[in-house]
Chain A
C-alpha cells in the first residue's frame, strides 16, 4: 500500500482507492493530502484516520471484499462506510471496525500468503 498525495487527475476527491482490473488488484493508495484537507480541524487524529483508510483499502486488496451496502445492524462496519450516513463521525472518532467474518477472512488470507 502506498501513502501518497493525490494529484489533480484524482477526481472526485477521495481518501483512498484500490483499483482492480479484470480481477487483478493494483497497489492500494491512501491520499494523505486529501485526508489532511478534509480533517484540517483534527490533525491530532491524522495518523489514526490514515490507518483506518489504509485498513479498508488493504482489506479490499487482500480479501477482495468489495464495498458493502450499509447494514443498520452493523453500523460501524469498515467495509460499508461508503454507504453509511454517519460514517464521518465514526471515522473521526476511530470507531470503524471490520466485522468478525471480515476479520476472519483477512486472517485466513494473511496466513495463506505467509505459509
Chain B
C-alpha cells in the first residue's frame, strides 16, 4: 500500500512538472502584449494567437537571471551540393535585452557571466543540434559543396513564439 501511494505521488508530481507554467493566452501573455510597443512584430504575432510550445527549459531561467530576453546563435554551415548540412560551427552567440531589435549586449560583466555560468556553452550545443535540422526556403542549385548559415533564436519565455521554430538556412 505504501509503495502504491508513493508511486501515485511520483506519477502525480511527474505529470504536474509537465504542466504549462502559464495558461496559454492568459494574464502572462496579456502582460507581455501590454509591454510591447504598438508597432512591435512580436505583439502582432501574439495578438494573432501565435504562441511558443510552452516547454520550459532550464536555460531560460539562466537568461532571465542575466536579464537576457533573446539570444541569437549564428551558425556557419558547410552544405553538400544538394543543400544538406555537412559541418556546423557556431560562430557567435549574441545576447539582447529586448525580444526584438536593439543592439547586442556589450557589457563586459554580463558577457563574462554568460560565459562562466555555462549559458553560452549550453546555447552553443543547442544551436549545433538545431542547425542540423533547419529548412531552406528553396533549395539552392549548386554543383559543389558551399558555405551558408542559419540564425538560431532563443527566447527567455516558453510561451513566446520562435518564428520559425526550425532555423531557416541561407547561402553565403
Contact = CB atoms under 8 A, between A and B. Distances in A.
Contacts, number: 112
Given A13-B133, A13-B134, A14-B135, A85 B140 contact: no
Nearest to B84: A12
Contacts of B41: 89, 92-93
A53 B136 CA distance: 11
B53 A40 contact: yes
Given A15-B135, A53-B137, A38 B170 contact: no
A70 B167 CA distance: 18
A13 B164 CA distance: 13
Contacts of A85: 149, 151, 170
Q: 7 nearest interchain CB pairs?
A: A41-B161, A92-B163, A88-B168, A44-B48, A38-B164, A38-B166, A13-B135
A30 B151 CA distance: 23
A15 B136 contact: yes
A88 B52 contact: no
Contacts of B170: 70, 82-85, 87
B111 interface: no
Interface residues on A, range: 35 or more
Interface in A1-49: 11-18, 34, 37-45
Contacts of A83: 140, 170-172
B164 A67 contact: no
15 contacts: A12-B82, A12-B135, A14-B137, A39-B164, A41-B50, A41-B163, A41-B164, A45-B45, A53-B137, A83-B170, A83-B171, A86-B151, A87-B170, A89-B163, A91-B164
Interface in A93-111: 93
Interface string B115-139: 0000000000000000001111111
Interface of B: 41, 44-45, 48-53, 82-85, 133-141, 149, 151, 161-168, 170-172
B137 A91 contact: yes
A44 to B, nearest CB: 4
Given A38-B166, A87-B170, A12 B151 contact: no
A65 to B, nearest CB: 12
Nearest to A86: B151
B90 to A, nearest CB: 15
Nearest to B153: A88
